[in-house]
Amino acid sequence: MSKICELTGKGAIKGSHIWRSGKAKKKGGIGTHVTAITKRRFLPNLQRVKAVVDGEVRYIRVTAKAIKEGLVVKPAKRTWKKPTAA
């Protein structure tokens, strides 16, 4: 299953984790130095939600930001009740 938002198309982006050592000059040291750079991926905050898509209710994977912005149309709540034996 791909880590891509079905509505916005947002996916993973590349970045780096930078390791530094030393004490900052402001704090009385001789300055910080980069000792290693490791590649990493920033993944989108995907959520699995029920939504109305093309007139039918189905599960989709969308980012939390898309949910907050109101891009997801939620289905109506079920009001069906079990019939009582009379």
Rounded CA-CA distance 68/44 in Å is 14
The residue-averaged pLDDT of 12-17 equals 97
pLDDT at 47: 97
Over the stretch 58-86, which tens digit does the pLDDT of each residue have?
999 999 999 999 999 999 988 888 888 76
pLDDT at 2: 86
pTM, 2 dp: 0.71
Domain boundaries of the chain, sorted by first residue: 13-68
Using CA of residue 38, residue 5, residue 47, residue 71, what is the dihedral sign?
positive
